[in-house]
Amino acid sequence: MCARAVSKFQAAVESLEPRWLLSAVTAYVPPTVARTSISLDSAWRFHKGDVAGAQAVGFNDSSWSSISVPHTWNALDGQDGGNNYYRGVGWYRRHLALPTSDAGRELFLQFDGADITADIFVDGTEIGSHAGGYTAFAFDVTSDVHVGADNVIAVKVSNARNLPVAPVSADYTFDGGIYRDVHLLVLNKLHVDPLNAGSPGVFLQTTDVSAASATLQATVDVRNDLATKQNFTVRTVVVDASGNVVKTLTTAGSLAAHSGAAFSSTAIIAHPHLWDGRNDPYLYSAYAQVTSSTGTTDVVQQPLGFRWFQITVNDGFFLNGQPYDLHGVDFHQDRLNEGWAITPADTQQDVSLIDEIGATAVRLSHYPHSQLTYNLLDRDGILAWSEIPLVNTISSAPGFADNALQQLREMILQNFNHPSVFVWGLFNEISGSGALDPNPLIAQLNALAHQLDPTRLTTAASNATTRDPVNHHTDVIAFNRYYGWYYGTLADVPAALDALHAGLPNTPVGLSEYGAGASIFQHTVNPTGIVAASSFHPEEYQDLFHEAYWAAISTRKYLWCKFVWNMFDFASDNRAEGDTSGRNDKGLITFDRKTKKDAFYFYKANWSSSPVLYIADRRFTQRTSPTTNVKIYSNCDSVTLKVNGVVIGTLKPSAIHVFNWTGVHLATGVNTIQVTGTRGGKTYTDSCTWTLG
């Protein structure tokens, strides 16, 4: 299965002209228009529980908590175990004073994320509802608010169980609340429409991309809410990373009063500077402008990147015509004591850590993440698998299938322009062996994804056998496999991977999840016979697990993706294992992001171009045996080991960048373990202490 694809959203388009003509291109200055996005994150009142009449203007909320959003009511009880965290209704209320200068403007309330359902009221009147916890949504409130006066916004949010909304169940905590930002959009009456599935209303489709040229189609949703017919021009200005205009796409438009439509224009971009993953994540910007006889009435900026890719049955992934190994991590959006109500700094740190480890790709499990996440992945050249939260099972409840399709539509249209996104994920671990056949819904999802976006591939994360029909809908497929943790042994991994490839000879297969739990406080000399469901998850076993898996998967180029489960420990309130109930501890980094486990450095040594020299088992400080192994993860050319100042020897790396000394003797008391590595003529050191007795 092959596909050529390219990108869309973020920061810049490059030269349609040859490089030597760039000096003649003028710098772009965006027109000044009155499009405003006002943060409504502050000054909310919150009550956990349902309250009759809480939407009314005169309702007395003085006893409610004063909070800001992002906010969740499950930051603490959703991580403490017991599977008894609060799942129900929470109410939010806020006053909004609108200045008289907003008279004659169009006003929209936009929510970037509220889990799982949200009913929105303005001055006691319900203006709309949204079902789905991970995508943005907006409502036109122009006729519902009073300009020059105070208004009351009330929001009823529910994360109750048994809602006919995906996901029905999953191995993570469903944090309730308005956990992403809230905005008031103030627009002119002739504007780019923000109501198309919560999208920006601008869609940049790139096709026939090569180093020589690319075709760009810009589609802009325009809305005329004036009382008369309007004639206008839609211009999409492509700007390179230096701020120079390299192409302007233009189309004329006309709309009757109070109507809207999509307007498209196409151009050929000569010699595009390609978005080339971590090698060169070059971004253009595209500015969609709506201009009438009165001037420019709206401008929307979106990122844009040009690239193409292939996924093949036997040789894996290709980016811009070159083999490109897709290795990386899955990750969730929560934090210790914060839940999903995280800050931009949290998101930036997470993506920075993923960049540090050397990941070339991520799987955004198990739902669309924040727009900031996608923007950072665009910037850093990390390819993204973005998926909808169709997890574990489907429901026969009326409206469930429509909701899954709605969430897919929202995910695709909201993230259409991000060059980092290369596949749309349709489900995680749904089997056709259940009582309710999921195949008709999966087929519908697959058809809708291709209808909305013909440039990207569809995929899914399956835990079924290769014979299961659920594996035969998407363009490519990947599997969640946990040999040596939940079942089987590590010795099973090579043959199991080859069996996947043999079982689907005409479909590219990848590895969407593999991992093992680890506590940084639990250690053992002989990490064998570890039971996943137990309270003992020694860090040393996670090391052996990942060494065995990477040795097998790194040599199998038919695997189009390789994703570790998980980058960070995360909350799963139903779990009772490892050193902390309510936590999935398979992360390469602890839940608080303070400690990088040994396995983090193992992958960094294999994936990163930065120098790595790291003594494994370093937290196993109290020893009882005078003889031990010393293991180093490093991408150095050679490593020399000293114990208590005595040189033990110098080793070259194994194929997976492991240096291992066996039978090393420790003295009674404190022992200093020191290693020195050389790489490219430079010397690096690491040390730790272990105490015997």
Q: What residue type is 668 in one-letter code?
A: T
Strand ranges (E), 225-324: 230-239, 245-255, 259-270, 275-276, 280-281, 284-292, 295-304, 309-312, 316-319, 322-323
Q: What residue type is 63 in one-letter code?
A: S
Q: Does domain 19-30+193-307 have CATH number 2.60.40.10?
A: yes
Query: Residue 21: what pLDDT?
Result: 34
pLDDT above 90 for 123: yes
Find out whether 209 and 217 touch, Cβ atoms under 8 Å: no
Instruction: Give the right CATH number for 615-692 from 2.60.40.10, 3.30.70.890, 3.80.30.20, 1.10.357.10.
Output: 2.60.40.10
pLDDT above 50 for 516: yes
* Mean pLDDT to the nearest integer, 611-619: 98
**Percent of the chain residues past pLDDT 70, beyond the cut:** 96
- Residue partners of 33: CB distance under 8 A and separation at least 6: 188, 296, 297, 298, 299
Biggest alpha carbon–alpha carbon distance for the chain: 90
What is the rounded radius of gyration, in angstroms, for the C-alpha atoms of the chain? 27
Q: How confident is the model at residue 457 (pLDDT cuts 50, 70, 90)?
A: very high
Structurally, what CATH architecture does the domain formed by 37-187 represent?
Sandwich (2.60)
Q: How confident is the model at residue 163 (pLDDT cuts 50, 70, 90)?
A: confident
* Mean pLDDT to the nearest integer, 670-688: 97
SS3 content of the chain, % helix, strand, coil (to 5): 15, 35, 45
Point out the residues that are catalytic: 429
Please, how many CA atoms are within 13 Å of residue 258, restricted to the half-sphere of its CB? Answer: 3
Q: What is the mean pLDDT of the chain?
A: 95
Q: How confident is the model at residue 23 (pLDDT cuts 50, 70, 90)?
A: very low
List the end-to-end C-alpha distance of the chain, in Å, as a whole number: 59
Question: d(Cα 85, Cα 653) in Å, to the nearest integer?
Answer: 48
Question: d(Cα 106, Cα 140) in Å, to the nearest integer?
Answer: 8
213-245 pLDDT tens trace? 999 999 999 999 999 999 999 999 999 999 999
Find out whether 323 and 291 touch, Cβ atoms under 8 Å: no
Query: Residue 13: what pLDDT?
Result: 31
| Two domains, one topology: 19-30+193-307 and 615-692 | yes
Question: d(Cα 426, Cα 453) in Å, to the nearest integer?
Answer: 14
Q: Does domain 322-608 have CATH number 3.20.20.80?
A: yes
Query: Residue 343: what pLDDT?
Result: 98
Domain ranges of the chain: 19-30+193-307, 37-187, 322-608, 615-692
Question: d(Cα 248, Cα 271) in Å, to the nearest integer?
Answer: 16
Q: How confident is the model at residue 9 (pLDDT cuts 50, 70, 90)?
A: very low
pLDDT above 60 for 690: yes
Query: Residue 249: what pLDDT?
Result: 98
pLDDT above 80 for 10: no
* Mean pLDDT to the nearest integer, 27-43: 91
- Residue partners of 576: CB distance under 8 A and separation at least 6: 81, 582
* Mean pLDDT to the nearest integer, 628-643: 98
Q: Looking at the DSSP assignment, which residues form a beta bridge with residue 311?
A: 317
Question: d(Cα 65, Cα 71) in Å, to the nearest integer?
Answer: 12
Query: Residue 433: what pLDDT?
Result: 61
Structure tokens at 402: 């429509």
Query: Residue 31: what pLDDT?
Result: 87
Question: d(Cα 43, Cα 46) in Å, to the nearest integer?
Answer: 10
For residue 167, cis peptide bond before it (omega within 30 degrees of 0):
yes
244-254 pLDDT tens trace? 999 999 999 99
Query: Residue 30: what pLDDT?
Result: 86
Q: How confident is the model at residue 15 (pLDDT cuts 50, 70, 90)?
A: very low
pLDDT above 60 for 369: yes
**Percent of the chain residues past pLDDT 90, beyond the cut:** 93
